[in-house]
Amino acid sequence: MAQQTVKVGIIGAGGNTRSKHIPGLQAIEDVEIIGVCNRSQESSQRVADEFGIPKTYDNWQDAIGDPDTNAIVIGTWPYMHCRATVAALRADKHVMCEARMAMNAKEAHIMRMVSRQKTHLIAQIVPSPMTLRVDNTIKRLIAEDYIGDVLAIEARAGGAFLDSESPLQWRQDFDLSGLNIMSMGIWYEALMRWVGEATRIMAIGKTFVKMRPDADGVMRSVRIPEHIDVVGDLACGAQLHIQVSTVAGLAGAPEVYLFGSNGTLRFSGNKLYGGQEGDAELTEMDIPDAEAGGWRVEEEFVNAIRGNEVITHTDFDTGVKYMEFTEAVTRSMQSGTAITLPLQI
């Protein structure tokens, strides 16, 4: 299937689609973006005019049904991910779906089930991007026993004060985002690349602003936490703590610590720091050019369609794992109990 022309229909043209996916796809030889469908005909036309896309669609089904497309990029909020992905795969079209994978674990399982029925098609989730530069180096250092046995992981994201006046946005809207909580799921996805998945978690979270106005000025209840702590056991034997917050003012940039039996790694600000027992402090570590990763989502998608590589960032199996973790967090908050992973769906 070398150098097959990839003809893409776009469903949802938010910020990431406009800044990353559309330019990235248009930069690849023999890739054509055939049409776009955004939330309104007017916004669809603006995107089409901006990027020279020949068609706009009245609705998302038309994008999938267009005989001129053989691949669909889904850039909507999570509420559309499952139905658009399933419809596209059943129409025999490759799919690249924006993170977060779905509204809940059940939807993620449905998406994976259909993708497994269509093994000739590529199905990809847009990956967690924050750690791409350092992932390979961290995995190598762990494999080389730089920190010894991995004992504990501390991850924290969020450094802003609570904004009690802002309107409801999609990450706070349960109807659009489902069980996804801030950036929690995509941080967990990044951690899985280094140390694998959790086997048991407990969580507590809190919403401080109980109601916010939506785009029409209607007051809506906020069901998604604004501060959350998750602790858990990992299959590798380590203990995990993740804190994600929109109320941790002046806490600084997001960071992750990996504590081992004889060393420590710290990721912060796209840099990696390390030290071993006997060192006075952590020092910045070199990221070899051969290991340094980066954003190449669109290239990976197209290469996979052409049979030139296999999807690693991010396949549907990984997406299911982080959606099960996401749902387990909500189940734990609601029940006040520990939840075992993988979930029984």
pLDDT digits (tens, 9 = 90+) for 279-290: 999 999 999 999
| Nearest-angstrom CA–CA distance, 250 and 293 | 29
- pLDDT of amino acid 3: 64
pLDDT at 276 over 50: yes
105 and 179 part of one domain:
no
pLDDT digits (tens, 9 = 90+) for 192-234: 999 999 999 999 999 999 999 999 999 999 999 999 999 999 9
108 and 69 part of one domain:
yes
102 and 153 part of one domain:
no
Residue 345: pLDDT band (50, 70, 90) is confident
Domain enclosing residue 204, as ranges: 135-268
pLDDT digits (tens, 9 = 90+) for 180-190: 999 999 999 99
Q: What average pLDDT does range 70-79 have in this prediction?
A: 98
pLDDT digits (tens, 9 = 90+) for 88-130: 999 999 999 999 999 999 999 999 999 999 999 999 999 999 9
pLDDT at 45 over 60: yes
Asked if residue 153 is part of any domain, the answer here is yes
33 and 99 part of one domain:
yes
Asked if residue 65 is part of any domain, the answer here is yes
Closest of 314, 305, 296 to residue 32, by C-alpha? 305
pLDDT over 90, % of the chain: 98
142 and 90 part of one domain:
no
37 and 68 part of one domain:
yes
Residue 308: pLDDT band (50, 70, 90) is very high
109 and 162 part of one domain:
no
Asked if residue 321 is part of any domain, the answer here is no
160 and 261 part of one domain:
yes
Residue 4: pLDDT band (50, 70, 90) is confident
2, 304 contact by CB (below 8 A): no
123 and 143 part of one domain:
no
Asked if residue 29 is part of any domain, the answer here is yes
Residue 1: pLDDT band (50, 70, 90) is very low
Q: What average pLDDT does range 77-93 have in this prediction?
A: 98
Q: What average pLDDT does range 276-281 have in this prediction?
A: 98
Asked if residue 318 is part of any domain, the answer here is no
pLDDT digits (tens, 9 = 90+) for 50-71: 999 999 999 999 999 999 999 9
Q: Which of 203, 233, 268 is the last residue of a domain?
A: 268
- pLDDT of amino acid 132: 98
Asked if residue 320 is part of any domain, the answer here is no
- pLDDT of amino acid 72: 98
Asked if residue 333 is part of any domain, the answer here is no
Q: How many CA atoms lie within 13 A of 222 on its CB side?
A: 24
159 and 183 part of one domain:
yes
341, 198 contact by CB (below 8 A): yes
Answering whether pTM is above 0.85, one says yes
- Domains of the chain: total: 2
pLDDT over 70, % of the chain: 99
22 and 68 part of one domain:
yes
CATH of the domain at 237: 3.30.360.10
CATH of the domain at 10: 3.40.50.720
| CA end-to-end distance (rounded Å), the chain | 36
Asked if residue 86 is part of any domain, the answer here is yes
Q: What average pLDDT does range 166-175 have in this prediction?
A: 96
112 and 149 part of one domain:
no
